[in-house]
């Protein structure tokens, strides 16, 4: 099975060369090097100790060490220099940047494991299969939790709505939670009506997560440069079950473990703190990140904790002890979202660098990478290319991946990175994404304070306020 990486606007699907076979050194990469690189990096001259005239030369690297890592283009110096990434020499030296299609060939060839020729066997991705079948892990013993005694929301629409800073959907019930100012709005997706409000006097919620059984709603947030807390609510009654954290700044990321016994939180202080819910005590903290903590999620099986930061770093930890279990290195921009597939074998990450990466957590390598996943179209009359960041990703209950980003489109992907569907462009910048418990609806919050619902055919707006 091949990796699949999609480059929109290039006319080239990753993993497929122009001759119909997988990209390989002899047929696809060497001709690019011959046109652009052999003048300096040949067997006779070998500037910087590097020859690109053979695959052996590429694998040997140059005077500064290896330049290509199989399966890891984002970590390969060869790709970085031709892509003109910051902090590395830009190649070809003194010349213009390579055409996007040629850069894509190099990227795809590295991703596929650097096959030498068309007859080379592309090694299939190790570890978990792409196919997925839900097994009912964390299914509640009784009926899924829905609010039964919350007062109905009666607030009229504000004159100026706040951006949707957090959004979540129950994994087992037709229920959504939507962040507001000093409150959380619950919404019945089946009745298309309000299910009540939860007060959040701590400030603005920047993260919402339902527990894996859907019985608890976690809300984290606060007030900038003042305070930050995490609150756990009973979904049925709205009762506060726990208040955790004494942060001096807002909580930007948080989650509750599958068994409900642990809460992890983080924010601008660059530290991940993990609390025991029953005792309300801090049991360990992680200080390895170098920038703000922007994403946190426990695996569905409870074994791992994934954390991401504003510098593009992602790390895996033993959820019970905080012991490191590996770093996932591919992104070059802030991590905006992390999402585990239901079997805990794949982790998806979205970033402001425009990429979605679907990781095999067993070996730390990408199963698939989607580059320029949410690239906006150029604006007529405006100079330059608009940024194309990914602002939210979430695995659906059937193993697909939903995402939103700076192109204002809701997109669906397979675990192989191939597109499975896309909505028409929405009116506002989409900031958050959530998928309904049955995978039939994708919710997206926008910067204008609206929530759109896409059923695969049309996008409708939720009526969040009374009229």
Q: What is the pLDDT of residues 81-107, one digit of tens each?
A: 998 877 788 888 888 899 989 998 998
- pLDDT tens digits along 114-125: 899 988 876 555
Residue 375 is predicted with a pLDDT of 92
> Which is higher by pLDDT, 209 or 16?
209
Q: Per the structure block, which two tokens stand in for 147?
A: 């609010």
CA-wise closest residue to 164 among 176, 172, 173, 147: 176
Q: What is the pTM of this model?
A: 0.79
Q: What are phi and psi of 326, to 5 degrees?
A: 125, 155
Residue 16 clears pLDDT 70, i.e. is over it: no
pLDDT > 90: what percent of the chain? 68
Q: DSSP assignment, residue 341?
A: -
Q: Say how far apart CA 263 and CA 240 lie, in whole Å.
A: 15
Of 445, 347, 420, 431, nearest in space to 390 by CA: 431
d(CA 318, CA 301): 12
Which structural domains are found in the chain, ordered by start? 6-111 (no CATH), 167-461 (2.130.10.10)
Mean pLDDT of the chain: 89
For 144-164, what is the mean pLDDT?
A: 81
Which pLDDT does position 128 carry in this prediction?
57
pLDDT score at 366: 85
Which pLDDT does position 264 carry in this prediction? 98
* Comparison of pLDDT for 427 and 436, the residue scoring more: 436
pLDDT of 6: 28
pLDDT at residue number 466: 63
pLDDT interval class at 8 (50, 70, 90): very low
pLDDT digits (tens, 9 = 90+) for 307-366: 999 999 999 999 999 999 999 988 999 999 999 999 999 999 999 999 999 999 988 888
pLDDT at 393 over 80: yes
Of 279, 230, 237, nearest in space to 256 by CA: 230
**H/E run at residue 245:** strand 240-247
- CA-to-CA distance for 189 and 147, rounded, in angstroms? 12
Element spanning 108, H or E: helix 100-111
Q: Can you give the length of the chain in residues?
A: 467
Highest mean pLDDT: which range of 72-81, 159-168, 297-306? 297-306
Taking 50 as the threshold, does the pLDDT of residue 7 lie above it?
Answer: no
Compute the average pLDDT of residues 275-295.
97
Q: What is the mean pLDDT of residues 160-168?
A: 91
């Amino acid at each position: 099975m091949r990796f699949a990486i999609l480059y929109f606007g290039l006319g080239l699907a990753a993993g497929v060369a122009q001759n119909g076979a997988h990209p390989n050194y002899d047929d696809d990469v060497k001709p690019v090097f011959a046109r652009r690189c052999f003048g300096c990096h040949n067997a006779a001259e070998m500037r910087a100790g590097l020859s690109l005239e053979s695959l052996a030369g590429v694998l040997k690297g140059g005077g500064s060490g290896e330049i290509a890592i199989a399966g890891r283009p984002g970590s390969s110096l060869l790709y970085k220099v031709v892509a003109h990434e910051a902090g590395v020499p830009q190649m070809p030296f003194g010349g213009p940047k390579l055409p996007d299609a040629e850069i894509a060939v190099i990227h795809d060839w590295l991703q596929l494991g650097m096959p030498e020729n068309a007859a080379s066997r592309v090694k299939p991705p190790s570890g978990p299969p792409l196919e997925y079948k839900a097994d009912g892990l964390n299914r509640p013993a009784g009926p899924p939790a829905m609010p039964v005694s919350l007062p109905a929301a009666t607030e009229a629409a504000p004159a100026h709505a706040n951006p949707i800073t957090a959004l979540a959907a129950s994994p087992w019930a037709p229920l959504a939670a939507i962040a507001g100012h000093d409150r959380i709005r619950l919404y019945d997706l089946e009745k298309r009506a309000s299910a009540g409000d939860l007060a959040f006097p701590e400030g603005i919620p920047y993260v919402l997560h339902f527990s894996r059984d859907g019985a608890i709603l976690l809300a984290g947030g606060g007030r900038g440069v003042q305070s930050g807390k995490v609150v756990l609510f009973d979904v049925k009654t709205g009762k506060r079950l726990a208040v955790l954290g004494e942060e001096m700044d807002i909580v930007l990321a948080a989650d509750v473990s599958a068994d409900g016994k642990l809460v992890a939180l983080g924010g601008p202080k660059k530290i991940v703190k993990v609390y025991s819910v029953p005792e309300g005590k801090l049991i360990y903290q992680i200080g390895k990140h170098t920038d703000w903590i922007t994403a946190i999620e426990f695996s569905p099986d409870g074994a791992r904790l994934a954390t991401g930061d504003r510098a593009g770093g992602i790390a895996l930890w033993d959820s019970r002890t905080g012991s490191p279990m590996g770093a996932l290195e591919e992104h070059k921009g802030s991590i905006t979202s992390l999402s585990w597939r239901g079997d805990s074998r794949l982790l998806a990450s979205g970033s402001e660098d425009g990429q979605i990466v679907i990781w095999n957590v067993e070996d730390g390598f990408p199963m698939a990478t989607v580059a320029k996943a949410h690239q906006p179209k150029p604006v007529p009359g405006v100079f330059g290319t608009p940024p194309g960041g990914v602002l939210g990703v979430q695995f659906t209950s059937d193993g697909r991946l939903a995402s939103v980003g700076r192109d204002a489109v809701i997109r669906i992907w397979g675990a192989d990175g191939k597109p499975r569907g896309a909505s028409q462009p929405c009116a506002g910048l989409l900031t958050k994404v959530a998928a309904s418990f049955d995978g039939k609806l994708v919710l997206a919050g926008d910067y204008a304070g609206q929530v759109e619902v896409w059923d695969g055919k049309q996008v409708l707006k939720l009526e969040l306020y009374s009229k």
